[in-house]
Structure 1
Amino acid sequence: MLTIIDKYILKRYLATFSVMLLLFVPIGIVIDVSEKVNRMIENKVPLVEIAWYYLDFIIYFANLLFPIFLFLSVIWFTSKLANNTEIIAILSSGISFTRFLRPYIIGATIVSLTALLMGFFLVPKASEGFKNFRYTYLIGNGREEMRDNTDVYRQISDNEFIYVSNFNPQTQTAFNFVLEKFKGDQLEYKITANRIQWDAKNEYYTLYGYSKRTVGELDDVIESKEVSNAIYTFSLEDLTPTVYVAETLSLLELNSFIEKERAKGSANINTYLVVLYKKYSIPASAFILTIIAVAVSSMKRRGGMGMNLALGILLAFTFVFFDKIFGVLAEKSSIPPLIAVWIPNIVFGALAIYLLRRAKR
């Protein structure tokens, strides 16, 4: 049962967080417009697409920076409570510091669940619109940079592997094509071609500079043709999904996509796992950041609210820095993605426990 004090603090928690979002999101839009307006004019972007882009931008931006907004909002209104001696009055009435935290934890639960559901369903759609617009109208070579088209290696079945050095999605052509089929641990045959192109009209692949080497017990059989047609079960476009594809998928779609990419032997599997694990770790950070914010700002300081806000901004950006650094390490190094993604929460969770114990004293 919520008491009057619980309702008062919870109302301030949610209201301040909402106001913080409403204040900073328009600032983000103004900055983005000032940076991109020339490019939009040059590319003659329709106003309707710009409107949809900024709708997606609001959701994407709010989700990206929600830990900072939450942390600063909790520090802001808790510092005001401390400066008005409201916290001293609450604790002097016999309420323990742990009990005082209850409305904060309830507020963190509401924010965390909202962020979790948005990350599962709403944010992926917003990310897709946001990224598509940027790659179509705002980034250098546009759509050419949407895919990682060089040195593509995939496992297309339990015993078949393919490699292409370069893929052109516009012409549906891949270069330096290699297909290897194994029987157990032994190579059964190997197909190579200088170039492979999808023929949409006839629904088959045309291989130029075709060569097939079938491994025999004593002698290998080599077959060569200038041009050869073949039917394969894979799609060239599926071999090179957009670089940000994981960010555009809902939870169930992302899980299914990761399983398929793992079966194909995708080199980007760690990138996709980082996106999956962050859907859980970022909402969980709401509890950790809330506890740290309360512990830091619940007592009066000589510098007043300014000192608390300065310390809060430092801690908030340190958290975001940790999150980005370990996210990159998970993608590029041998650190398991699950551990790398949760390291910021583990480190700041330990800090939260330490600061909470100090605040209780």
Structure 2
Amino acid sequence: MQVRVNPDGSFRTPRLIPQGRSNYFEYCIVALCAVLFGVVSCYYDMQYVMFCVSTMILSMVVVEIIQRLVMLVEEYFSLQSRYDNSYKKLFLCVFSSTIPTVLFVTGALIITSFTWNKQTKEAWFFNLLTMIIYVTTEYLQLKTAPIYNSIQISNPKTMDVGAGMAIGFFHGYLRILLPNNPQNDRGLKHVMEIYEAKERIKFARRALYILVPLSLHCPFRLTDMSDIMEESSSLAAIEEDRAGVKNRNYKNSVYKIKCQRPDGKEGRIYVAAEYASPLKTFKESVESDGKFALHYQQHKTDILWKFYTTIVQLVKEDPLTDGLCEFIYYADFDKRGARVDIGKVLLKRLHADIAADKKKQEEQ
């Protein structure tokens, strides 16, 4: 019922949770182009076909360059406000491209130069037709169906609402809360050690567990979504002067989960856990009648997936936060619509993480 991160960084998703989209569509387009190229080559001279294809590609590049030149002129009037009077920033913003695109265009130029003797009026007609079709396609905006937005959101290289929420959550909360600094009683592990000594308990793991429910439902207490969890006192607050607010408090809740001990008696497992707070605001935006509400409703699961994958990556790639925070992206309602006990979800994940920690120690 919950997403798991594989050792290679990929994700295993249960059926109830929509997974990230693949590049099958792009592969199919490439395969179709290859088949069409092969079929046409059977009826025309190979060099002539290569000349037509390469010049068609260059025709689209010419149209794109003209479009970017127009944008360059428009952006020039915002040189100071947007680009700090830097012509370099302006130029890179307008004319930057990906390495595969540059290689593709370079290949087309090389092929055209070697097959230039194959030019005909028919070939130039195809080029003109290609330019007209390209411009028409851009003007008609054919790729405006919601599925194209979903594909764009799923792309790990693009910036969107989900990635923005994750970046803000990381730098505005986790990056403040997690790193250890014992000199001023800062850092999650240090605060948890103080809590253990004061309460005479032991945490199952010295890490913060953050819940990412598929429904976005984030009640005030985790105990509202569990029959086996109990509230405990909170961890000591961490104070930070931030954005004009003096002594802003950052603190985490502690819960006890009922479980069966090896001797058969009932015991308690202590865990620091909470919901991902940006999801509360996102849910309110989804359910509102405000601007972009329809967009959020259509792409709720895509945005949530982007938030989860981005925040996991950010925490793992930062040595000051890696290993101090675990995220549980789970389906909080089963196929029948019944509520899933979050205490059981946490318990299952804790046992899996403890076993993984032991295995890692044995390997070392």
Global fold match (TM > 0.5):
no
Structure richer in helix, relative to its length? 1
**TM-score when normalising by structure 1:** 0.26
